[in-house]
Structure 1
Amino acid sequence: MELRDMLAKSNPVERLIDHLAATLEGALALRRRVGDIAVVEQVTQGQFWTAVSLAALCHDAGKIPDGFQAMLRGTTQSWGERHEVVSLGFLPCLIEDERLLTWVATGVATHHRSLEGGRGPVIKLYGGAPDAEWRDRLRPLPDSVAVELIGWLARTAKRAGLPAASLSPEELDVVGEARRMFDLLLDRWELPAHPDEGLAAVLLQGAVTLADHVSSAHGTLHTRQPIGIRFRALLEKAFTEKGQSLRPHQAEAAETGGHLLLRAPTGSGKTEAGLLWAATQAAEITRRTGGVPRVFFTLPYLASINAMAARLGGLLEDDTLVGVMHSRAASYHLARAICPEDGEDEHAEAAKKAVSRAAATRLFRETVRVGTPYQILRGVLAGPAHSGTLIDAANSVFVLDELHAYDPRRLGYILASARLWERLGGRLTVLSATLPGVLARLFRDLLDQDVRLIEASAVGAPLRHRLGLRERHLTDPESVEEIRSRLAAGDSVLVVANNVADAQRLFAELEPEADAAFLLHSRFRRMDRSALEQAIAERFGVGRDRLPGLVVATQVVEVSLDVDFDCLLTSAAPLEALLQRFGRVNRIAARPPADVIVHAAAFAPRRKGGEEFADGVYPRTPVETGWHILTRHDGCAVDEADARLWLDEVYDTVWGQEWHDEVLRHQTEFTEAFLGFAHPFVSRDELAERFDELFDGTEAVLDRDRDAYEADLATGHKAAGRLLAERYLIPMPHWAAPLTTWEKRLGVRIIDAEYDERLGLGEVHGRVAQVYQAGEVL
């Protein structure tokens, strides 16, 4: 056999030299998009992208052994060895610079597996094995092809402007050289690395892995940032067409260089201000690095992410430039691609397209991404599976919208990651209607560069809300009667409970009283949740004709939908959460101050003898402190400038100091556990499990939907079938996994529970050690 006969892949069939050339092109494209990363260029003495490119070119050279080729051609089931280890044997003949050689070897050896720990660690497979065993396991291989391949690699590298030795060996001891390079790598990474060096190593791994994935998928990376130098003119044109112009805080944000904190009330155009700021940063980063920065727009809830993605796609006049970055991205694309009247064939075809679109986002194709902060945070898990997220975040722009302060652990983790993003050449802004001063100080103390604070002027701004307090609980009969009277008066009414159980109870009582009634919380099947959100937006969306009706919701409504109600009745919660809920009422101040009525919470421990929580959800102290502040303003119109001072008052307490200390403790904890990279190629599988428990939760299919789920799985294209089946999934918290049974054959959790399309998940049946308590599930 000759070099041209060597395969890299079997399904579809792809020649080895074609795949290596495509992966090199992927690495060069990634370099053009990311640009120079100052911290790693210093560590590698300007050789980072050269090492990435050479590693991409050589990463699969070790696929020429007879055993690997036989496996690809189907004449043997499995080779059982690691091709990337064999690939190391081609490097010494190609690269003369010893420092560069080590970095290239690092990228080649780690593009599939960790050196130590995890699934099939490379050290365990080959470390300490004698030379004779190496040769027995990795040979035979066609020596003439190896010589031919080294010549092809050298010529290809030179054409790409990469350094390559002009050697034409008559023979090449690939396995012997591979063994030597492998031992060199083990010595190199045995001791703890300097933080910058460890970071460079992980980014190198991510770049090689990402280039390989893009090549294998025959994909491309977008090289245009639509939120850039021309964005301001595009936005001003859109404003002019509506008879509007930029507001002072928006213009100020557009002219700000560096990190930004923006405090602006709901309805003041803070999203546009954040995008204008992002455009300025993107243009500056391009000038500094030569790359094409990515813009990450993060939000806390799924519905708000989907709505923002659609909004940005319309604003940019091309939604293919916008990636949806959350665990249900394919479901989002499917929902946008199909109509309710479509048949199953149309659904299946739309599912195939949605899967392709979501896969492209996972390959980091788009330069604008909308998602949760936690999807970007996953990059710190490193390894072949996650290091691509880190390299993609380098030299990027991060817009953190509605970052909630009251969860100290998640905030601490985000703060730690923000410091890493800055270290990687990034710029950050935090947008909030309720940004407390303590959060602003945390960011200013954390980041090395200056952080500017812009506050939208509230002078002359119309008052949107009138505050009312009720000493009784939201579910009290008198409270329910008050809601009934609002519905009878023809109002559009928003009721927000702190937990699912209260929301379901209120909805059951009030639905008969309303012209149209909807219940929204996080425990619906995906397809039912999507339908609910669409129906709510169509009836109560901003700018639509005012219609009477009722929405009962939990916290998911706080920043999820662009809706506008006549009045709000809500359970007491932390002030930040309450102010977000207020923002769903009289949203654009088109009417006199509208009523926002806060009901006292019920405090009780979640478990016997534990700390007390408001309605089983929020810690008692901040809720109680906020309630006492609100009592001073009962019956008054709410000035949003004053509301920010209320927040500062909450945090300027003993509890606030404890909260501050806890945030810093979690920041330090996350930094030490995830961001040191002292051992960059040791598996972080155990950290991934902790991460998933904190952020991801789990999902389950109702026992009654099992057959329908299985039927969808069998629909045509495998990934499309799984996407269609996902419409039956119900999100649940990670701790609720014991309430389910794992169906290995279908690869999904099954839950035996009551369920109603209008009410969502109800009572769970079966013998389980833990009881589902809806009050604890947000």
Structure 2
Amino acid sequence: MEDERSVIELMQSCQVSEETVARVARLWGKSAARNAGRTHVLLGHLLDTAAVAGLMWDRFLSPAVRRRLDEISGGQGRAWFMWVCAIHDCGKACPAFQALDVAEAAPVRAAGLTWGRLPTGRRMKWRHDVAGGAMLIARLREEWGDADAVAWVWPLVAGHHGVFPSVSALRPPYPDAQGRGPAWAEAQRAVVDVVTRVVGFADVAAVRPVSSLRKAEQLALAGLIVMADWIASDSEHFKGLADAGDVSPAGACRRAEAAWERLGFRGGWEKLAVPSSTLVPLTGRLGVAPRASQRELVERAWSSLSPGLLVVEAPMGEGKTKAALAAAEVLAARFGLNGVFVAMPTQATSDPMYEQVLEWVGSFHPELVSQVALLHGKRRFNRLWRRIWDEGHSAGVGASPWEDYGAIDEDDEFGWPGSSGDTGGVAERGGPPVWFLGSKRGLLTPFAVGTIDHLLYAATRTRHVMLRAAGLVGKVVIVDEVHAADIYMRQFLLEALRWLGQAGVPVVLLSATLPPAQRQAFVDAYLSGVLAAADVQEPVPEPAGYPCITAAFAVGGQPVVESSRSLVPSWRESVPTRIEWLPDTEVDGAVVAAVVREAVAEGGVVLVVVNQVDRAQAIYRALRGSEVGGHVHLLHGRLCTAHRAERTEECLRLMGPRAGDSRPEGMVVIATQLAEQSFDVDADLLITDLAPVDLLLQRIGRLHRHAGTRRPAAHAVPRVLVTGVAAGVRGRPRFLPASVKIYEEWPLLRAAALVSEAAGPLPGSGGAGVPGAGVWSIPADVPGLVARAYGGAEVCPAEWDEQAAGAAWRVGEEKRRAQAEQFLLTRPREWGTATLEGLHYAGSTAVGEEDLDAVVRDGDRGAEVVLVHRVAGGYTALDGTRLGVYGEVLDDAVVERLLGGSVRLPVGLSGETGGLRALPGWVDHPWLRHARALVFEGGWAELGGSRVSYDDAEGLVVKRG
């Protein structure tokens, strides 16, 4: 695209009649009213998009993606990619679009492209994306003579506004929608011809692909087309050109180059060298003394014959995530991948992983640090992310992390990101590219760490799902704590694995407590994608021991599944861990508090994990004034965002792997399930409410976790006190009501039975028999306990009536599975289809990020509110920062402090928030206009018959009426 000739001259050289040249030159692509006051002709936008696509090919796409596009185009991958991106808006060359703006339509009609009266109303709407698909399908059938090739290419154009229609939707709703008569037909033909010539093809017939992309690859390609379109639609960087005589291929390349530099884009690793040995990624970049399980994983990455799935099962604290990053380097180098996405179970676990990945990515090249995204809704409160942001962006250029960049009205025919001019300003050297902050774009960043939700979103039948697919293809995907996904979330994870398998994306799944049935399901789902089969069932060999690694891939169209064939020793010897009962089902936690006081009398660090915020607060209150004093820390989900982040950081400082001399002589941490996973702390004693066995073992993973920690003699042996349960009728366990609500009864009964095997019968149950052995050997016993907890054999005494509880649990699980299925990207019977045609068979089921949260996570999560105080003359933030009379905020620093007071309400109160609104002064602020303010007057607020207050130590306190 180095031709300096204008598109008018190029059309003339294509033997297009003068009348058609004049008519095509008048077709508009962006109206002045929606494009910062400047009309942009259609061919100008198409050439801009082609130029952006060329830069994406050269500087952004992974070698693996480029290789596949070369394969299907007969070695012309770059030109083919530019063509399919440029042709996306060919459907704007029709009356239905050209008539949308009266001012822009006048010169089009004057040039001889006319239409009659067009109907109005949503049912008769003829969108330009669908019009493009209709236009292209007819042309390609004529010139390619290959029905299969046409069938997978036309949806790429018809779906570029986020939804893939069925072929039946390509029929215009009224005669003039597509344009009648030779003038329109010649103009539409000329638009396609000139774009085809500009990118380097002699004619449309020469564009015909020699083979097909797989459906998952098509979805990713569709996302890359949208990316190119959105970048080229930015009116700040691509000023409108109203005269087609000013449009040229070379000019489009210059515009794209300037925009690329200003936006701060770059790719990931690009050409990553294969490490010289299996140890280099571990010792060189990550600085670890490799453990046997870590070496095993990297060696598996070396030996896999094709991109595949690696399922890693290893004890808590084994170093799985570091090993996964090392394996990712090997996989990326071998298979031509350009980045990594690390998916974590929660926001809280994402933050420390973000720090680790930043350090790791920086070891390849310091500039790559700017290409690491943190993907979760509270990232603005991550101090490291903010520091990198602030260092990389100058003030006053519109580059604020608080803004909602590139917002788009997806139902607006004119709409495109940047049409309002709000696209994020300038990316300074070293700063994260602002463009990627936009909704749905985060995964397109070369390196990303975020919640697993972002992976699950890519498995939902939602608008613009292709952008998420584009962000995953070309990366290695690592999913940590994969066991944390419940059956509802697991349906989306399985769907994502099918698509990733078909797209050739290597995936590494990590878990310490994975039930064998889940391991099998993950392998089958991934291989179903690889083999493009609806239901692959390839038995996983029984691992030789624990830790273990399962590898699944395909060779020559045949599945291969391998498990560790020899024993891989854990980094530490299994330790006998004493398991004891502490019967207590009272929310006040007085029994637990008394035991804690006794436990810390001679020093030591005690971790208390309970299943209920009210119970955690009650235990904290009971200890707050005791001799433990200021060394009692409370961590739960009803802390405001700022306090939760501060306390998590403080706990990691005092109890983490680098605590050293900072570790206190005596300390108590009372936490809810936040401490269950990816919380790298070391406790001397664990007191925990009963939970399903896999989660109970995760909590035990915080006990005696780090080597070399100095402990008081009283805590030399790891010890677990299991509470939240007491003896009931006929010895059947009685659980905390909150525990049953969260986990249901059957998993708790089986957990109680397995604990009883070690701890003996529950005191007061009257249970007969020999007391338990008193210990679990950790980690050696972990896989066996998890397998038994979720296996088919009964483990409970007959009088516990396990069968009835199990039947009720299975009914509930099946119901949740079915509920998730309605939102999955593909219906099971359609998995084998070869194209994207009709993918959105029921339209878009969710359009906003908040809606997506509800789609991929089952149950009520509780409404989030921003806590403010009403004071004389206005309002203050929770921390006392003064706001305006109507709640106005003056700068980003005030916004940060204000939103630091965000908190999620208990589920029981979330239904009472209908009357909560943003403060009047927030209505024009991009981050605050959708927020709900909970206003305290005199320190209290009334909500749903309850009195709500906030205590800086306890968090949100609810006193029910």
Query: How does the TM-score come out when normalised to structure 1?
Result: 0.76
The answer for unaligned runs of 5 or more in structure 2 is 1-21, 108-119, 235-258, 404-430, 528-552, 554-559, 710-715, 729-734, 760-773, 796-805, 878-882, 924-928, 935-942
Aligned to 2:508, what secondary structure does the other structure show? strand
Query: Quick one: structure 1 residues 758 and 60, their matched pair in 2 at CA, closer, same or farther if it must change by over 3 Å?
Result: farther
Q: Distance in 2 between matches of 1:146 and 1:128?
A: 16
Query: Quick one: structure 1 residues 54 and 661, their matched pair in 2 at CA, closer, same or farther if it must change by over 3 Å?
Result: farther
Aligned to 1:748, what secondary structure does the other structure show? coil
Contact 1:469–1:598 (CA under 8 A) maintained in structure 2 = yes
Aligned to 1:267, what secondary structure does the other structure show? coil
Q: Give CA deviations for 1:717-768 in whole Å, capped at 9, x if unaligned.
A: 9x99987764343235888642212537532344544223332233288xxx
Q: Give the corresponding residue for 1:701.
A: 865
Q: Distance in 2 between matches of 1:73 and 1:541?
A: 66
Residues 1:589 and 2:707 aligned together: yes
Q: Give the corresponding residue for 2:845.
A: 686
Q: Give the corresponding residue for 1:336.
A: 386
Percent identity over the alignment? 21
Which range moved further: 41-50 or 566-575? 41-50
Matches within 5 A, 1:382-421: 382=461, 384-394=463-473, 396-404=475-483, 407-421=486-500
Q: Distance in 2 between matches of 1:363 and 1:22?
A: 23
Report the residue type matching 2:161 in the other structure: H
- Picking from 38, 43, 50, the partner of 1:24 is 50
Residues 1:467 and 2:579 aligned together: yes
Q: Give the corresponding residue for 1:632.
A: 757
Which range moved further: 303-312 or 473-482? 473-482
Aligned to 2:50, what secondary structure does the other structure show? helix
Q: Give the corresponding residue for 1:505.
A: 618
Q: Give the corresponding residue for 1:282.
A: 332
Matches within 5 A, 1:254-269: 254-256=298-300, 257=304, 258-269=308-319
Residues 1:213 and 2:263 aligned together: no
Q: Distance in 1 between matches of 2:320 and 2:677?
A: 13
Q: Distance in 2 between matches of 1:209 and 1:339?
A: 26
Q: Give CA deviations for 1:253-296 in whole Å, capped at 9, x if unaligned.
A: 1111243222222222221222222223223322xxxxx25422
RMSD after superposition: 5.0
Which range moved further: 667-676 or 411-420? 667-676
Residues 1:106 and 2:137 aligned together: no
Query: Quick one: structure 1 residues 554 and 615, their matched pair in 2 at CA, closer, same or farther if it must change by over 3 Å?
Result: farther
Q: Give the corresponding residue for 1:755.
A: 950
Q: Distance in 2 between matches of 1:627 and 1:40?
A: 55
Q: Give the corresponding residue for 2:89.
A: 60
Aligned to 2:569, what secondary structure does the other structure show? coil
Report the residue type matching 1:729 in the other structure: S
Q: Give the corresponding residue for 1:173.
A: none
Aligned to 2:581, what secondary structure does the other structure show? strand
Q: Give the corresponding residue for 1:553.
A: 671
Q: Give the corresponding residue for 2:694.
A: 576
- Tell me by how many angstroms 1:300 deviates: 0.9
Residues 1:321 and 2:371 aligned together: yes
Contact 2:637–2:904 (CA under 8 A) maintained in structure 1 = yes
- Tell me by how many angstroms 1:351 deviates: 4.5
Aligned to 1:411, what secondary structure does the other structure show? helix
Aligned to 1:380, what secondary structure does the other structure show? coil
Query: Which structure would you say has the larger Rg?
Result: 2
Which range moved further: 103-112 or 479-488? 103-112
- Tell me by how many angstroms 1:307 deviates: 0.8
Query: Quick one: structure 1 residues 71 and 424, their matched pair in 2 at CA, closer, same or farther if it must change by over 3 Å?
Result: farther
Report the residue type matching 1:700 in the other structure: E
Q: Distance in 2 between matches of 1:551 and 1:12?
A: 59
Report the residue type matching 1:252 in the other structure: E
| Greater share of residues in helix | 1
More relative contact order in 1 or in 2 (CA 8 Å, sep 6+)? 1
Report the residue type matching 1:262 in the other structure: V
Report the residue type matching 1:55 in the other structure: V
- Picking from 660, 666, 674, the partner of 2:825 is 674
Q: Give the corresponding residue for 1:176.
A: none
Aligned to 1:674, what secondary structure does the other structure show? coil
Q: Give CA deviations for 1:614-660 in whole Å, capped at 9, x if unaligned.
A: 35322222222222222333343633102322222212245799778
Query: Quick one: structure 1 residues 600 and 84, their matched pair in 2 at CA, closer, same or farther if it must change by over 3 Å?
Result: closer
Query: Quick one: structure 1 residues 362 and 512, their matched pair in 2 at CA, closer, same or farther if it must change by over 3 Å?
Result: farther
Q: Give the corresponding residue for 2:35.
A: 10
- Tell me by how many angstroms 1:686 deviates: 3.2
Q: Distance in 1 between matches of 2:272 and 2:706?
A: 26
Which range moved further: 747-756 or 582-591? 747-756
Query: Quick one: structure 1 residues 660 and 283, their matched pair in 2 at CA, closer, same or farther if it must change by over 3 Å?
Result: farther
Q: Give the corresponding residue for 1:619.
A: 744
Q: Give the corresponding residue for 1:439.
A: 518
- Tell me by how many angstroms 1:313 deviates: 0.5
Q: Distance in 2 between matches of 1:748 and 1:108?
A: 36
Contact 1:37–1:424 (CA under 8 A) maintained in structure 2 = no
Matches within 5 A, 1:531-546: 531-544=646-659, 545=661, 546=663
Matches within 5 A, 1:478-493: 478-493=591-606
Q: Give the corresponding residue for 2:800.
A: none
Which range moved further: 504-513 or 15-24? 15-24
Which range moved further: 693-702 or 87-96? 87-96
Matches within 5 A, 1:368-379: 368-379=447-458
Residues 1:247 and 2:282 aligned together: no
Query: Quick one: structure 1 residues 131 and 439, their matched pair in 2 at CA, closer, same or farther if it must change by over 3 Å?
Result: closer
Query: Quick one: structure 1 residues 127 and 331, their matched pair in 2 at CA, closer, same or farther if it must change by over 3 Å?
Result: farther
Q: Give CA deviations for 1:103-143 in whole Å, capped at 9, x if unaligned.
A: 554322321154669xxx995xx95533246559xx9x999
- Tell me by how many angstroms 1:497 deviates: 0.7
Q: Give CA deviations for 1:526-581 in whole Å, capped at 9, x if unaligned.
A: 22322222222223222212113222111111124322222221111112112211
Residues 1:743 and 2:917 aligned together: yes
Q: Give the corresponding residue for 2:781.
A: 642
Contact 1:115–1:122 (CA under 8 A) maintained in structure 2 = no
Which range moved further: 688-697 or 577-586? 688-697
Q: Distance in 2 between matches of 1:617 and 1:747?
A: 29
Report the residue type matching 1:57 in the other structure: A
Q: Give the corresponding residue for 2:536.
A: none
Q: Distance in 2 between matches of 1:573 and 1:90?
A: 59
Q: Give CA deviations for 1:476-525 in whole Å, capped at 9, x if unaligned.
A: 43321111223343322211111111111111222233333322112233
Q: Distance in 1 between matches of 2:62 and 2:39?
A: 26
- Tell me by how many angstroms 1:670 deviates: 5.3
Query: Quick one: structure 1 residues 216 and 603, their matched pair in 2 at CA, closer, same or farther if it must change by over 3 Å?
Result: farther
Q: Distance in 2 between matches of 1:537 and 1:255?
A: 32
Report the residue type matching 2:844 in the other structure: D
Report the residue type matching 2:284 in the other structure: K
Which range moved further: 249-258 or 737-746? 737-746
- Picking from 359, 367, 370, the partner of 2:437 is 359
Query: How does the TM-score come out when normalised to structure 2?
Result: 0.63
Q: Distance in 2 between matches of 1:382 and 1:398?
A: 21
Count matched residues: 710
Aligned to 1:685, what secondary structure does the other structure show? coil
Report the residue type matching 1:640 in the other structure: P
Aligned to 2:719, what secondary structure does the other structure show? strand
